[in-house]
């Protein structure tokens, strides 16, 4: 049996590891220090909450790997006045981190249960600038568009057209693309006056973006 780990020591190691994986933006690190991942990981996998690995959540989904959450947040270059759309609420971890960095987060998931549980998390952290909704995020959120930033935390074969259309000029979208059961590529899309510029960030592995609403 290993010794129980002191929580502040554990947090220090967690942040140190994030830095070693390239999460260097002090605002992102600060947000990840304040939003404790341990609160989002309950039950069986509780003792692995600070490991740099995705973990199972209800509805057959996953809470993303912390270093990937950090790198995606950093790549999104969120500003304090931004309106952000997240597709794939999941546990609510990514949305909670974003909420500390921008003006308002709209987050959607196709599973009602996940949205309800994520809303409890937002209350726990006293976050009042997140609107969580049950919706098929592959269509975006037309009634709140356009967005300064869009983050997709499930893999699509291509960046969904409605999401590209709902990005402001000058806006940034981060989205994993590729076949769902293979390694995918995280891409960053910037919208300019004349079109879209794409750059590849790294290889990742996400659950698939599925059209339509879930059963629960
Ligand atoms: N960002 C999450 C991890 C998300 S896992 C976190 O921080 O924990 C991916 C999520 O995308 C799953 O919860 C899944 O239900 C959701 N999803 C998949 N396809 C979707 C779609 N078309 N619309 C909305 N959500 C979708």
pLDDT at 42: 87
Q: Which two tokens stand for residue 11?
A: 């947090």
* Residue 2: pLDDT over 60: no
Ligand 1 site residues (CB inside 6 A) read: 61-64, 87-88, 90-91, 93-94, 108-111, 114, 136-138, 153-154, 207, 209-211
Q: How far is the CA of 2 from the centre of ligand 1 (A)?
A: 34
Bridge partners (DSSP) listed for residue 147 = 167
Helix extents (H) in the chain: 7-20, 26-34, 66-76, 93-99, 112-124, 161-165
Stated length of the chain:
216
Each residue's pLDDT tens digit, 95-126: 999 999 999 999 999 999 999 999 999 999 99
* Residue 5: pLDDT over 80: no
Are residues 205 and 185 in contact, defined by beta-carbon separation less than 8 angstroms? no
Q: Under the phi-then-psi rule, with left for phi > 0, alpha for psi from -120 to 50, and beta for the rest, what region is 151?
A: beta
Distance (Å, rounded) from C-alpha 80 to C-alpha 149? 12
Distance (Å, rounded) from C-alpha 19 to C-alpha 71? 10
Catalytic residues: 64
Q: Which two tokens stand for residue 28?
A: 């992102």
pTM for the full predicted model: 0.96
Please, what is the end-to-end C-alpha distance for the chain in angstroms?
Answer: 38
User: How do the residues of the chain divide into helix, strand and coil, expressed in percent and rounded to 5?
Assistant: 35, 25, 40
**Which amino acid residue places its CA nearest to atom 13 of ligand 1?**
90
Q: Which domains are delineated in the chain? A: 7-204 (3.40.50.150)
pLDDT at 3: 62
**Given pLDDT bands bounded at 50, 70 and 90, which one contains residue 172?**
very high
């Amino acid at each position: 049996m290993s010794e129980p780990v002191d929580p502040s020591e554990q947090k220090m190691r967690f942040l140190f590891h994030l830095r070693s994986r390239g999460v260097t933006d002090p605002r992102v690190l600060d947000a990840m220090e304040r939003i404790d991942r341990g609160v989002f990981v309950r039950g069986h996998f509780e003792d692995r909450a600070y490991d740099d690995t995705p973990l199972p959540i209800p509805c057959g989904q996953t809470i993303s790997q912390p270093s990937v959450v950090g790198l995606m947040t950093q790549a999104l270059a969120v500003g304090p006045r931004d309106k952000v759309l997240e597709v794939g609420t999941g546990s609510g971890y990514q949305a909670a981190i974003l909420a500390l960095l921008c003006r308002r987060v709209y987050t959607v998931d196709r599973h009602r249960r996940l949205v309800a549980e994520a809303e409890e998390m937002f209350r726990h952290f006293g976050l009042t600038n997140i609107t969580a909704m049950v919706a098929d995020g592959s269509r975006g959120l037309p009634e709140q568009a356009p967005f300064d930033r869009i983050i997709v935390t499930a893999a699509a074969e291509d960046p969904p057209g409605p999401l590209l259309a709902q990005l402001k000029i000058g806006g940034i979208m981060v989205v994993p693309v590729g076949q769902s059961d293979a390694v995918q590529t995280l891409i960053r899309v910037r919208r300019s006056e004349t079109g879209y510029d794409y750059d590849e960030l790294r290889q990742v592995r996400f659950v698939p973006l599925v059209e339509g609403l879930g059963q629960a």
